[in-house]
Copies of this chain bind each other. A is one copy, B any other.
Amino acid sequence: MKAEIITIGDELLIGQVIDTNSAWIAQKLNLIGIKIHRINSISDNREEILSTLNESEQRVDLIIITGGLGPTNDDITKKTLCEYFKTKLVANEIVLDDIRNLLNHRKINVNKLNQGQADVPENCKIIRNFNGTAPGMWFEKGKKVFISLPGVPFEMKGMIEKEILQKLTNHFNTQTIYHKTVLTQGIAESILSEKLTMWENALSEKGLKLAYLPQPGIVRLRLSAEGDNVNFLEEIVKNEIEKLKQIIPEYIFGYDNQKLEEIIGELLKEKNNTLAVAESCTGGNIAHLITSVPGSSEYFKGSIVAYSNEIKINILNVEESNIENYGAVSKKVVEQMAKSVIKLFNVDFSIATSGIAGPSGGTKDKPVGTTWIAVASKNEIISDCFIFGDNRERNITRASVTALNLLRKLIIKQIKNK
């Protein structure tokens, strides 16, 4: 079962608004076995709307249209739909009541423009909108379905969740698509792909699809399966992930939308453990990631961003001779930072970073991107040196993600050893 999305609005085409609706709709429809075949973003223009509707109708059985349903003159979706279906607008009493109730609640009088929103094409079934004044519209043409919805995200979402998904499940007899994403850290896409060649080749025989989705420091592997029985699909995907875990156990840190900082938070809360950070090259980003998680104050005590040697020496008690002999970007210094911060904040675990984020500051021995990272508990310290790239922003992200993953591994090791 295939669908297309048509998003209508000049604001999308001048780049003022990012289309977040389509991704959300795609996720929801996927879960009930409807695949999105194409997303078309077009302007508030009669000819464009008519020709796109016609093209989509040739290709798929379901067309979801968002946008262009506002009360003002620049919104022409409704009258263009009338033209497309060769029908006329008629006043709908239920919609008018809904509009009155909504505006009364907000102490606003119903004006002519709002009243016009209660006029709907004669051939559609309405989908009530409890969050705004534009109703949704459901059209059928032979076996094909067209649904027109407002572009305002929470109005559109309300209608899809409350009514449309159920209606679509009833109307179409569809296959389920099951997705599972495996999150890896610490291995480049091309090397990962080499390691997985045999496993990957065997997937297609089982009807499974694999996609590599890289972002700085992380490669996501998305497995997809299609069929009638969701339990069966889940089972075959699970089996493949078990095999994957045998091939690259050290690189997998989580699944689907999990974030490293959330995983660490959960691990720390499990044993009532606490964390503090000493950052040089990451400049506060690790603390920022950790504190972006609601409730992080339960386990995170704080961070020292030591952006000068003076602060490393005076606040983090790094020995000046170590900086002189080995440089600030060195095993000695980063390990002292990690140890100091454990004492200073009286915590169970710590992270320390020291590197050359760039674009300047590199040398022949230590090029831009060279980064020492240490993670420590009260009785153990692990440190390693990484060479990232030459882009400051990405170096900061990659160092942060790498440090969080090293900490995750240390916490798990300590839990196991207890």
Contact = CB atoms under 8 A, between A and B. Distances in A.
Contacts of A55: 55
Contact of A26 (B15, B224, B311, B394): B15
Interface in A36-72: 36-43, 48, 52, 55, 70-72
Contact of A307 (B279, B297, B393): B297
A394 B133 CA distance: 16
Contacts of A102: 389
A179 B14 contact: yes
Given A301-B310, A305-B291, A26 B39 contact: no
A26 B16 CA distance: 9
A344 B310 CA distance: 11
A210 interface: yes
A73 B190 CA distance: 11
A357 to B, nearest CB: 8
Given A12-B23, A43-B37, A294 B387 contact: no
Nearest to A290: B283
A191 B17 CA distance: 22
A267 interface: no
A359 B301 contact: no
A322 interface: no
Given A36-B14, A39-B13, A367-B105, A294 B392 contact: yes
A26 B13 contact: yes
Contacts of A36: 13-15
Contacts of A37: 13, 42-43, 48
Interface stretch (A211-219, A242-250, A408-416): A211-219
Given A22-B41, A71-B190, A105-B390, 7 more contacts: A74-B211, A106-B388, A287-B287, A291-B305, A291-B357, A294-B392, A301-B307
Interface of A: 10-20, 22-28, 30, 35-43, 48, 52, 55, 70-74, 102, 105-108, 111, 113-114, 131, 133, 152, 154, 177, 179, 181, 188-191, 193-194, 200, 209-214, 222, 224, 277, 279, 282-288, 290-292, 294-297, 300-308, 310-311, 315, 344-346, 357-361, 367, 369, 387-394, 396
